[in-house]
């Protein structure tokens, strides 16, 4: 990606006291990703004994992944890669609109 240098520069500027926070955010994202993979096993079922499985479970995990990605990007001072499929249609806040004229 053309903007990868932004992340590399930001990572080089992380203060030692903030490294634990960054690590925890990355670990949280990894945990969410693992839960999405494990959640695939429950996709064919609506109910397991008395437990009813949420159909939107994976979507809820995607929302959490987006939320933590935004936090990590904010912490590092870098933009999200909006070209990534998982971030399509999820813009929050200001949106750049092309102006003609």
Going along 46-94, which residue ranges are E strands? 47-48, 51-52
DSSP 51: E
- Alpha carbon dihedral 58, 60, 66, 68, in 10-degree steps, equals -110
Q: CB of 39 within 8 A of CB of 61?
A: yes
SS3 content of the chain, % helix, strand, coil (to 5): 60, 5, 40
18: CB partners within 8 A, 6+ apart: 75
**pLDDT tens-digit profile of 57-92?**
889 999 999 999 999 999 888 888 888 888 887 766
Looking at per-residue pLDDT, the higher value among 36 and 84 belongs to 36
* pLDDT given for residue 32 in this prediction: 96
> What's 43's DSSP letter?
T
- Percent of the chain having pLDDT more than 90? 29
């Amino acid at each position: 990606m053309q903007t990868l240098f932004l992340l590399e520069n930001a990572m080089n500027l992380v203060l030692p006291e903030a490294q634990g926070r960054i690590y925890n955010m990355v670990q949280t994202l990894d945990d969410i990703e693992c839960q999405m993979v494990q959640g695939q096993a429950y996709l064919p079922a609506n109910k397991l004994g008395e437990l009813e499985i949420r159909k939107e479970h994976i979507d809820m995990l995607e929302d959490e992944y987006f939320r933590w990605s935004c936090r990590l990007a904010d912490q590092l001072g870098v933009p999200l890669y909006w070209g990534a499929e998982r971030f399509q249609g999820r813009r929050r806040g200001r949106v750049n609109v092309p102006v003609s004229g």
